[in-house]
Amino acid sequence: MFHNFVKVAAAIPIVEVADCQTNAERIFDLIQEAENQGVEIVCFPELCITGYTCGDLFYQTELQKNALKALIWLVEKTADFHITFIVGLPIYFKNALFNVAVVCRNGKVRGFVPKINMPNNNEFYEKRWFSSGQNIVNQDIILPNEFDAAPFGVNLMFEYNEFKFGIEICEDLWTPIPPSSQLAMHEADFIFNLSASNELTAKHLYRKQLVAQQSARCISGYVYVSAGFGESSTDLLFASSAFIAENGVILAESERFVLDKQLIISEIDIDRLRADRAKNSNFNNSCNSTEYQIVGIYNEDNDWQNFTRKIDRFPFVPQGKDLDERCEEIFNIQANALAVRLFHTKIDKVTIGVSGGLDSTLALLVTAAAFDKLKIDRKNIFGITMPGFGTTARTKNNAWALMRSLGISAEEISIEKAVLQHFADIGQSADNHNVTYENSQARERTQILMDYANKIGGLVVGTGDMSELALGWATFNGDHISMYGVNLGVPKTLVRHLVKWVATQFTIYDLRFTNEATANILLDIAETPISPELLPADENGEIAQKTEDVVGPYELHDFFLYYFLRFGFSPEKILFLAEQAFCLQSQDEKIYTSEEIKKWLKVFLKRFFANQFKRSCMPDGVKVGSVNLSPRGDWRMPSDASAREWLMD
């Protein structure tokens, strides 16, 4: 194990039906390959030593004897291996034949787990050959060749170092309450399923969803592996279906309809699973009184480094084929939340500061969508651009172009005279570009928005995002305050992505919401450097004050924020994951060195702990994802907490 990741594999050998020794040799080859790749536990299909499609040959004592001999051969052959492997075979025990999974490691058979639920339908007639293991508990099977007796029963759970796993077999998963549900509630961190599931039209998708959903219900890892090439095709086809899932997410899957062996590998994150279980106070409510027999499989430290699991650089940003649907859902959550607030307050006017930057752009788009939903004229949206000492032509022009494009009421109110007067009042030199110089501008803008809202009988829509709150990158009682913050549940990387996404959606509400001209404005805003524009521009009139030069890259801070809040990971583990995502994966985007990541992680921790007082009095705002910083809901932290232990780690 490495950082509490367990490297697991699903292996699908080519089968010779009823040829146990040939099957054992092919299984051995895959075990050896998995061992060489640092796999800690590898699982094979149901009845893989004999083949699943033996039919009435299962009654043959010769087949039963040869299956056990092949198992013993495998166990002896792998005595010096570090890997744990799980294979399937038929076992005769006390006047009955059982379909079992057997766990082996270091030259020992560690335990036999019988299948409980036997299919008995038009495709499978397992009850013809096998008995259910439902009532088999606390038994032992005597093995030949001077092997120790091995425990046999449905109440077996295997402890691998400090973590536990359980086993169910094929049809067990398809029942209303699979054995894995109770195994998980009795502390099994992951489940292995040895299966032989034939192919039918549309069955593959259902099977994949079933595995993903069961891993989610159990908040567990789940390794599912079904029979493949070589099984008899007399009536059915088995096409090598295997998945490695973790809490609802498929981490790896096999390729179907291939005529070769397969080995799929990934890492299951025990810390991630346990963090979610700890937060789910209902997880153990249906736990029964089964007493599980714990079988220890202790492994020496294995500091494998060939990490195969892909760590996404942008955990908050939707990925894959459902990208558009997810973005629209997030955008609609924001717009509907604002619509609800306007409806309940009977307010039909708002003010919003429009800077030409990312946050105010997304907030304005969301506000326009909310007004459309409520059928309120967009002229009731009062967009105010408030140029100051650092405002550049690029952002100012984009702010005006966007407001005109959306058809809202637009106004420009310069803050320079008011701020200079304030400087004179408090004795602040305009040449001293300190924090007072910057924050005075932010507070003046907020005062304008608040007072203008009073003037029109409106509400101030806040534009600040979750990343800024996490880092405390907001002026207290300045841009920190609003009457409703539509972006408070949206981190900076997602803000940028949503603005780009809206630019591509020409028909999201109607043609005047997003047209080609608006799209071009949005794309330019998305490429503008992130800045509060509180310091004067450079000699070329370009943005001189770039936020990421000061606090660090938002793509790193959002990454840190996700794993810190969502799973409570230690800084050491967050650093490891960030290195996997930004240093060690072959990707085209910008990368960072380990030292750079460590530097910005320290900045994140210091700023996060130091700025809780700002989050403790943040305005209302909608949650859109699994992570949020509202002190009324997801994140309740004392403002005086110390970051020392995290920084030491």
Active site residues: 46, 115, 170
Beta bridge partners of 7: 267
HEC string of 426-481? Answer: HCCCCCCCCHHHHHHHHHHHHHHHHHHHHHHCCEEEECCCHHHHHHCCCCCCCCCC
- The one-letter amino acid at 522: L
Asked whether the beta carbons of 88 and 138 are under 8 A apart, the reply is no
Asked whether the beta carbons of 460 and 483 are under 8 A apart, the reply is yes
Asked whether the beta carbons of 260 and 229 are under 8 A apart, the reply is yes
Asked whether the beta carbons of 224 and 243 are under 8 A apart, the reply is yes
- The one-letter amino acid at 218: C
Asked whether the beta carbons of 54 and 125 are under 8 A apart, the reply is no
Residue 12's nearest CA partner among 63, 66, 56, 51 is 51
Query: What span, in angstroms and rounded, lies between the C-alpha atoms of 268 and 3?
Result: 11
DSSP string, 619-632: PP----SS----TT
Identify the DSSP state of 603. H
Identify the DSSP state of 380. G
Residue 463 sits at the vertex; the CA angle it makes with 331 and 387, to the nearest 5 degrees, is: 135
Asked whether the beta carbons of 459 and 453 are under 8 A apart, the reply is yes
Rg (CA), the chain: 30
Asked whether the beta carbons of 11 and 44 are under 8 A apart, the reply is yes
First-last CA distance in the chain: 19
Q: Packing angle between helix 516-526 and helix 393-406, nearest 10 degrees?
A: 150
> Can you say whether residue 359 is alpha, beta or left, with left for phi > 0 and alpha for psi between -120 and 50 degrees?
alpha
Asked whether the beta carbons of 1 and 40 are under 8 A apart, the reply is yes
* Cα dihedral value 172, 173, 175, 176, nearest 10: 130
Asked whether the beta carbons of 117 and 123 are under 8 A apart, the reply is no
* Residue for token pair 């900076």: 492
Phi, psi of 624 (to 5 degrees): -115, -20
Asked whether the beta carbons of 78 and 116 are under 8 A apart, the reply is no
Phi, psi of 43 (to 5 degrees): -120, 140
Q: What six digits make up the tokens of 444?
A: 């003046």
Asked whether the beta carbons of 534 and 390 are under 8 A apart, the reply is yes
Query: What span, in angstroms and rounded, lies between the C-alpha atoms of 224 and 219?
Result: 15
Asked whether the beta carbons of 41 and 85 are under 8 A apart, the reply is yes
